[in-house]
A and B are shown apart, each in its own frame.
Chain A
Amino acid sequence: MNSMILGRYIPGDSPIHRLDPRTKLLGCFYYIGIVFLANNWITYALMFALTLGLLPLAHVRLGFFLRGVRAIIYLILFTVLLQLFFTTGGHVWWQWGWLTVTSKGVVNAVYILCRLVLIIFASTLLTLTTQPLGLADAVESILKPLKPLHVPVTELALMLSIALRFVPTLMDQTTKTMNAQRARGVDFGSGGPIKQLKAIVPLFIPLFVSAFSMADDLATAMEARGFRGGDGRTRYRALAYHRGDAVAVVLLVVLTVVLIVLRTH
């Protein structure tokens, strides 16, 4: 559980931490979009240089990003191998049955690897430097224009923030329940698949029971404090754009232009 680095906030006061969560959220999505503009060595090198340049700015060690990559290393390997063996075209370097390695395949595989690593770095940077509740606020603020279309924006944001708030609580509960059942002789993560599946039952039933009772308690507590939906509700932490956000936007626009100029047409 503790090795999970994706989706984990590290408190800090770096220029990246201070950016408005809306800027970071939209910027992250935009960045993931323009990763696909890169299609030659120069553009990928540029993207890497820029991304690695952002890391010291966020005061987060590179190790954290590498751990994020490690978490989904098999997905990356699978995608890379697929590209490597099944791309046709270019010079054929190696062939065995229906598996071929071509020059184009190798290039594509490297590009895919670069893309995935860049995307993971960007999203890890977002979650490491943004509080989950900040993200929920950002989603609400970004979706606000949909309100006249009867999209329940405040309710969606509330659900999101409650869900995020309960992630650590449920993780905690999971650890506690696992310990209690381990003390009663359950071995988690050993034995055959049937045995492992059986070990899930004494874990999941108590977890569901406690999750439902927590939800009940939360609803009661909210009503007791006068919650009646989000209409007209003001915020303690109001979102506001600052100079850093303008710098980030300019940077992204410049990056886009440079990518379009440098990419192979």
Chain B
Amino acid sequence: MDITFNHVSFTYQPGTPFAGTGLRDVNTTIHGGEYTAIVGHTGSGKSTLLQHLNALLKPTAGTVTIGDRVITPTTNNKHLRALRQQVGMVFQFPESQLFESTVQRDIAFGPENFGMAPDEAAALAAETARLVGLPDDLLTRSPFDLSGGQMRRVAIAGVLAMRPSVLVLDEPTAGLDPAGRRDLMALFARLHTEEGLTIVLVTHQMDDVANFAEHVLVMDGGALVREGTPREVFADAAWLRDHSLAQPTTTRMAGALAARGFHFDQPPLTLDELADAWHRS
């Protein structure tokens, strides 16, 4: 399922002294089955862009085409539920959306809202909990008794249980320890390669972008300023600095090495690529 932005602009609170620009004339396509990363510094419009992916926000100008649904500024707010099921959205600090009495019931909340029978939803919840690496004995516990990392997993499972074909992640690893961060990123990569999920990831971790993303969108000041493969986007260190971004650690390292006389055929993105290039030279 492709999501296409056609001349999309968005203004917060138009017609008041508090009006603020969220998006300016964004044109792009997020292709089904691809792993897309959205980067940009704080306030660049990333989160606003995200909320257009499942019509939580509607453009003030232009159209967003999600699968075969076209969202225009005048689209009615009703009948958007099917869309919300197809595009699963994990917000920043998603553990703040937990509310049910047990972990299992919280994960089953989404599927039940989309019309699944309670026992079926409960079975699916247990299965999804296992998928995100939650031990079975947590299912009957209150979500408020868990650790921060476990709560995050429950919240992500709650979205995955809706069986979306697009998974949108807004800084999903913020505030987690390194092990938790690595596990979650591995989980998303597995969902992408094994289940064919389309992934849209907003992140400040350029290393994650280099390691996992196939397509990168760079936002600045509400506008889409560049898009391409990680290799294309990360090639120009000076340009990235101008947009308050940095190169991934590996690329920075390679740059430092190149300055001391090492030759790379193309700048390496991941640790493996760097090691290979090192080995060859």
Q: With an 8 A cutoff between CB atoms, is A187 at the interface?
A: yes
Assembled-state Cα–Cα distance A186/B16 (Å): 29
Contact B97 A177 (CB under 8 A): yes
Contact B97 A181 (CB under 8 A): yes
Contact A184 B94 (CB under 8 A): no
Assembled-state Cα–Cα distance A210/B99 (Å): 11
Stretch in contact with the other chain, from B81-89, B129-137, B180-188: B81-89
Contact of B162 among A177, A179, A185, A201 (CB under 8 A): A185
Assembled-state Cα–Cα distance A89/B98 (Å): 61
Interface residues as binary, B3-37 with A (CB distance below 8 Å gives 1, 0 otherwise): 00000000001001110000000000000000000
Q: Which residue of B lies closest to A202 (CB)?
A: B99
Chain A residues with CB below 8 A from B114, complex form: 185
User: Which has the most chain A C-beta neighbours within 10 Å: B56, B99, B110?
Assistant: B99
Question: What is the distance, in angstroms, from A140's C-beta to the closest C-beta of chain B?
Answer: 28
Question: What is the distance, in angstroms, from A171's C-beta to the closest C-beta of chain B?
Answer: 13
Q: With an 8 A cutoff between CB atoms, is A45 at the interface?
A: no
Chain A interface residue count: which class?
Answer: 20 to 34
Assembled-state Cα–Cα distance A201/B97 (Å): 11
Question: What is the distance, in angstroms, from B45's C-beta to the closest C-beta of chain A?
Answer: 16
Chain A residues with CB below 8 A from B16, complex form: 2
Q: With an 8 A cutoff between CB atoms, is B72 at the interface?
A: no
Q: Which residue of B lies closest to A11 (CB)?
A: B17
Q: Which residue of A lies closest to B82 (CB)?
A: A185
Q: Which residue of B lies closest to A188 (CB)?
A: B77
Q: Which residue of B lies closest to A12 (CB)?
A: B17
User: Which has the most chain A C-beta neighbours within 10 Å: B84, B96, B97?
Assistant: B97
Assembled-state Cα–Cα distance A227/B119 (Å): 52
Interface residues of A in 165-208 (CB under 8 A from B): 173, 176-177, 179-187, 190, 201-202, 205-206
Q: With an 8 A cutoff between CB atoms, is A49 at the interface?
A: no
Interface residues as binary, A206-242 with B (CB distance below 8 Å gives 1, 0 otherwise): 1001100000000000000000000000000000000
* 19 A–B pairs (Cβ distance < 8 Å), ordered by A: A2-B13, A2-B16, A176-B91, A176-B96, A180-B94, A180-B97, A183-B84, A183-B88, A183-B89, A184-B97, A184-B158, A184-B159, A185-B84, A185-B85, A185-B114, A201-B99, A206-B99, A209-B96, A209-B144
Closest 5 CB pairs of A and B: A185-B113, A205-B99, A180-B97, A184-B110, A183-B89
Q: Which chain B residues have a beta carbon within 8 Å of chain A's beta carbons?
A: 13, 16-18, 51, 54, 56, 78, 81, 84-85, 88-89, 91, 94, 96-99, 109-110, 113-114, 144, 158-159, 162
